[in-house]
Amino acid sequence: MSLVPDWLAHRAAATPARAAVRLGERRWTFAELDRAVSALAAWLQSEGVRQGSSVGLLAWNSLAAAVAIHAVPRAGGVLVPLNARLTADDLAWQLRDSGASLLLFDDANAALGEAAARTAGVLARRLPDLDALHEAAFPPPRFRLDAPHSIVYTSGTTGRPKGVVLTFANHLWSAVGSAFNLGLIGDDVWLACLPFFHVGGLSILLRGVLYGIEVSIHEGFDAGRVNRDIDEGGATIVSVVATMLRRLLDARCDAPYPPSLRCILVGGGPVPRDLLERCARMGAPVVQTYGLTEAASQVCTLPPEDALRKLGSAGKPIFPTEVRVVDEAGEPCAPGEPGEIWVRGPTVMAGYHRQPEATAEKLRGEWLATGDVGYLDDEGYLYVLDRREDLIVTGGENVAPAEIERVLCEHPAVAGAAAVGLPDPEWGQRVAAAVELRPGAEVSPQELLELCRHRLAGYKLPREIRIVAELPKTASGKVVRRLVREQWLSAP
């Protein structure tokens, strides 16, 4: 079996009148979404999109962006969602790398999109006004499960971004695993405040159609709006990263969420203890997750009941994904022993677009070598320590930056921290840490160092601690240690 019907078309036939997407006051049923997608797919073909054409999409979250995301595969194209926070040069590079024949942009990204498309020599088109599109009878295609659905560029914490080729099967299995794990209720409303240009946001749209549930689209992250959508709009699941979660709780002074909110899916790194404790006190249903673009988002999740008992863990793999932690020789590590996290299963990417060497380095037989470091405890719970390239090696000892950052973040004045290795003539690397404070809070580097002394082994102690105005972060809110390190080296 390798062909399945167009997901949205099948869903629109099965439950045409159910709510599919909404943004603010505007709400579409699956039948309405399907009609708009057919119209846009016809328009895409009139703009030259053919079977296998790559189509760039440079847009903030919107109804039009959601329609485009479903229309590209219907028209036979491969979706290339582009990060609207990048420069025109970065975008031009990704357009060329993906072989895109067309770039779609929204109003807010018109100048950026046109500049990038000009540099890349690619046709650029403003996303058409959905209300002005001609209705078109568009026979829905069948999707080949092993064909590429999208090329998603990784946030790129190291080096040039790589285009992760995700097939229809990758996305479909990801949706299956998530449903078998988190459950799926007809009345679910999944709140999408993560950008659609990352796999965490994109996958919400795809799940929405497969599950037949509503996706509440947020143009960006606004803590007040997200809280309101949960309190009054009936959102039942929300996907966030830890920094967003903190802002959500801050904005409501830890007032409990209504019982209709059944899952806060938190990705992008471990959730700090104090935040988990706040959530536990409020009864907030936090599901921590470990995922990566190369595995079409979720790999492991930790249910709320284990949140404090397994503090800092990402939980267990979701079906049918399997996880192991291996040593340098690729042999499984003993429980508690750190190594590289490997992932196996049908959500693992087809490879990196046009990068056979990088692909060969990541895909080892059936396994994806994630480049992340972690360990499994004796009950099989995964603990993610760090990205392998962020590991600090000082005097021959491995130091996980996350461990130091967790200690620093325990201080009430600290909003975020990044530990990095700086070149050291004696030890190879020495530990250094940059710290971002909460608005109005104060603390001295000496006081933070004292905290560390009580909690960390000597070789792990930061030799320098700097207070910075803001830590560099990715679009999804992850601190980019590489940039912290570069800033430090350029201004020692």
How is residue 239 written in tokens?
A: 């996907």
State which of residues 135, 250, 322, 450 lies at the interface with a second copy (CB under 8 A).
322
Q: How far apart are CA 55 and CA 269, in angstroms?
A: 30
Nearer Cβ to a second copy, position 187 or 450? 187
The answer to whether residue 127 forms part of the interface with a second copy (CB under 8 A) is: no
Show the site string, 180-209: x = touches a second copy by CB under 8 A, - = not.
xx-xxxx-----------------------
Q: Which of 211, 257, 290, 488 touches a second copy by CB under 8 A?
A: 211
Whether 284 contacts 256, CB under 8 Å: yes
| Total residues at interface with a second copy (CB under 8 A) | 34
Cβ nearer to a second copy, comparing 259 with 425: 259
Write the CB contacts of 368 (distance below 8 Å, at least 6 apart in sequence): 294, 295, 342, 343, 344, 348, 349, 362
Minimum distance, C-beta of residue 188 to a second copy, in the bound complex (Å):
8
Q: Please, which of residues 2-61 interact with a second copy by CB under 8 A? A: 3-5, 7, 10-11, 13-15
Indicate the residue among 185 and 393 with the shorter CB distance to a second copy.
185
165-184 positions binding a second copy, by CB under 8 A: 169, 173, 176, 179-181, 183-184
What φ, ψ does residue 98 adopt, rounded to 5°? -80, -10
CB-count burial class (<10 Å; 0-12, 13-18, 19+) for 123: middle
User: If binding is defined by CB under 8 A, does position 319 make contact with a second copy?
Assistant: yes
Backbone φ and ψ of 202, nearest 5°: -55, -45
State in angstroms the smallest separation of the CB of 490 from a second copy: 45
Contacts of 189 (CB under 8 A, 6+ apart): 19, 213, 214, 215, 216, 233, 234, 235, 236, 237
- Please pick, from the candidates 345, 401, 421, 477, the single residue that binds a second copy as defined by CB under 8 A: 345
**How distant is the alpha carbon of residue 35 from its chain centre?**
29
CB of 369 to a second copy, least distance (A): 18
Q: Smallest gap, in angstroms, from Cβ of residue 206 to a second copy?
A: 12
Smallest gap from Cβ 13 to a second copy, in A, equals 6
CB 153 to a second copy: min, Å: 24
Site for a second copy in 74-113 (CB under 8 A): none
Task: Spell out the alpha helix ranges (H) of 212-314.
Answer: 223-231, 242-252, 273-282
Is 403 within 8 Å of 391 (Cβ atoms)?
no
The DSSP code for 479 is B
Give the C-alpha separation, 413 to 52, whole Å: 51
CA dist 48 and 77 (Å) reads: 10
Which residue stretch of 121-129, 264-272, 316-324, 411-419 sits at the interface with a second copy (rule: CB under 8 A)? Answer: 316-324
Specify the residue, 6 or 390, whose C-beta has the smaller distance to a second copy: 6
- Closest distance between a second copy and the C-beta of residue 176, in Å? 5
Q: What is the dihedral of CA 22, 27, 30, 36, to 10 degrees?
A: -90
Q: How far is the CB of 262 from a second copy (least distance, A)?
A: 9
**The total number of residues written for the chain in this structure:** 492
* Residue indicated by tokens 């159910």: 18
Is 449 a residue that touches a second copy (CB under 8 A)? no
- Of positions 159, 256, 320, 332, contacts a second copy by CB under 8 A: 320
Interaction site with a second copy (CB under 8 A): 1, 3-5, 7, 10-11, 13-15, 169, 173, 176, 179-181, 183-186, 210-212, 303, 316-320, 322, 345-346, 366, 380
